[in-house]
A and B are shown apart, each in its own frame.
Chain A
Amino acid sequence: MDFSVLSSRKPVTGRADSPQQAVLVVDDDPLQRSEIVDFLIRQGIAVVSAQNGFAAVHEIRRLRPAVVVMDMKMPGLDGIHVARLIQDMQSKPKVILVSGFPEYVYRAHQEDLGVFAIVEKPVPLAVLARFIREALAKGDV
């Protein structure tokens, strides 16, 4: 296990004044992660990213993002585990779980994880962004 990823990462974009509005993108695939981040930045959303489950937990505790967009299949701590951990946190971000694997989607639906949405890949980024905006809006209420 590469523990260097546990070191904190800076938010990719500014808007440090409202960290609660930030979105955390968690994906072990750097290509997909950067595509999602790119798109959200273009949409004007503050984005932070993490490359695995451990880093994600660290970032959530540190930055308290409003929404976590997370891939489920990851080595070590996978998306479902992180979602379980989030349930026990004091400030719970809205979680959007994403996966290309029907097994994960099925497992996520089976468990009562209290997530905002479960999205199957491939997903149009516009659709994903709509989910995120909806989650952000709910978080405001």
Chain B
Amino acid sequence: MKLKLHHRYSLVIVALLLSVVTLISGAAVLAFSSLSERTEEASARVMGDALRQQAISDGQDLAALASQIVASSLYDFDMRDLDEDLRALRRYKGILAIRVVDPRGRILHDGSDQLSDYGRRTRDVVTEKALQTRSVISGIEGDILSVGAPVMIGDRLLGAIHVDISLGDLMAHVSNLRSEVIRLSDDAHRSLLIIVGMAALILGIVGLVVGLLVGRGLSQPIRALSAATRSIGQGETASGLPVDRSDEIGDLARDLEKMADSLRQSSRMSRLATVGEVAVGVAHELNQPLSTIRMAADNGLASLDSAKTDEEYLRSKLELVSQLAGNMGEQIQRMCAVGRRDGRRIIFDPRVSVRDALALHGGGIEAAGIELTVDWPVLPADAPSLSVQGLPNQLMQVVVNLIANARDAIVERGDTPLGRLRGVRGQIRMTMSADPILREFCLEIADNGGGIPPEIIGRIFDPFFTTKEVTKGTGLGLSISYGIVAGMGGHIDVRNGPDGAIFTVALPTGMAAGEAAESEFIEIKA
């Protein structure tokens, strides 16, 4: 999956935030549940204890009250009264059993109608203790509270009363309380979970937004950098570089700007190198007419010196001088055009650039003893005029570069003692063709310089790649030619032929049918 940089940043930030939230909330939930369990337990115990205490105290009060009630009956030993007292007492809610014993512990009344246990000695611990200590004693067994209370009038011990009170209601109440506490705690637990969940969700969204913003903040300058790099690659000036940033991206932008500067400088150098190439060619080309001018002038002077001056002859010489000087001026104009960088993109005949390149450079090539042949394309009469779009100067620079490269290859091979070119004349063959169906103009420049080693053929259009000595080439000629041709919508290729390299420049033609191309094309001498 391909993710943009800022998406990745936001994902990372969201993941980080979520994991932090999960950790914190998990710990909180765990702590809360153990705390709430303990709270439940403690509160239930505390409440249970309090209630039990209350129940015991109530039971003891009840037993004390009962002992006072039965005291007079016992004093009088009136069994009927005692029976009535006990019946009344038994109506108290929660009283399960009630017994009255004499001071020696024998049962006088067991609260029932049968009186089946009468006279039997009680084994009840609580009652015995109450008799011994003459104070209210209570004990709990299961959910039954047993209370024993001595029955006394003044200091005289008349016996004891034993009351069993049910704690069932109390227990049920305590259990209700416990479940109520648990319910409340569960509610709190649920609310906590909901709050934690909401917090995680909100944090996640915030994280996503922050991540997107941060990512955008990071990727924005990177995108600007990449756009600038692209435009530098296309030979344009880079704008919008974030050079005023103080971070690493600012550093990168400043480095890129520096690189673009040096690249511009190198491209200027390469252009100057082309001008240099052309200058040599032009020097040759200019030398011819200059020589003729000199001779014509000499002949004119000689005619003046002789006895009979032929005016017609003098005129013809001066006309020749004037015409040749004019031609030389045009040549110089063309050479100056090579060095010009900018210019308007126009629609023009590509053959014009080839012709100009040959006019400026061809002489130098031939002077190096290399045969230069050019095949001009023959266009059908009804064909639309051959036209490409771009800067004629730049295309001429491309042709000059390619011819100079071919020449260098030939010269280099020729100088090698074992080179197979030794004794074979160097040849550069230029072929042009126009394909009206593909709408393509094709210029092929083939040399017999031995070709390009296969291991470097893929790199020869790379900037600064050169096989020439440091002083001879910038390594930019082919790369700049590549850029120029690409800028015109075409492509430049290289392959090895039987004798040497073959460079092909293909350009799309006839962009605007009917638009007049600069039709200054004229046949040139082969």
Contacts and interface: CB of A to CB of B under 8 A. Distances in A.
Interface of A: 29, 31-32, 35-36, 38-39, 42, 73, 78, 100-101, 103-104, 107, 121-126
B298 A107 contact: no
Nearest to A124: B298
A32 B367 contact: no
The DSSP consensus for interface residues of chain A is helix
Contacts of B295: 32, 35-36, 39, 122, 125
A38 B324 CA distance: 18
A126 B299 CA distance: 9
Given A73-B367, A125-B298, A125-B302, A101 B284 contact: yes
A31 B302 contact: no
A35 B296 CA distance: 6
Nearest to B306: A42
Of the candidates A29, A35, A104, the one having the most CB atoms from chain B within 10 angstroms of its own CB is A35
Contact of A35 (B292, B306, B369): B292
A39 B287 CA distance: 20
Contacts of A124: 294, 298
Interface of B: 284, 287-288, 290-296, 298-299, 302-303, 306, 320, 324, 363, 366-369
A32 B288 contact: yes
A32 B293 CA distance: 9
B302 A42 contact: yes
Contacts of A101: 284, 287, 363, 367
B374 to A, nearest CB: 13
Closest 9 A/B residue pairs (Cβ):
A100-B287, A35-B295, A125-B298, A122-B291, A122-B294, A101-B367, A121-B291, A103-B367, A31-B292
B367 A29 contact: no
A38 B299 contact: yes
B292 A107 contact: no
Contact of B291 (A38, A100, A126): A100
Contacts of B320: 31
Nearest to A107: B369
Contacts of A125: 294-295, 298-299, 302
Given A32-B295, A101-B287, 14 more contacts: A31-B292, A32-B292, A35-B299, A36-B295, A39-B295, A39-B302, A42-B306, A100-B290, A100-B291, A101-B284, A124-B298, A125-B295, A125-B298, A125-B302
Nearest to A98: B291
Contacts of B293: 122
Contacts of B369: 78, 103, 107
B246 to A, nearest CB: 58
Contacts of B367: 73, 101, 103-104
Nearest to B295: A35
Nearest to A29: B288
Contacts of B363: 101
A31 B282 CA distance: 19
A35 to B, nearest CB: 4
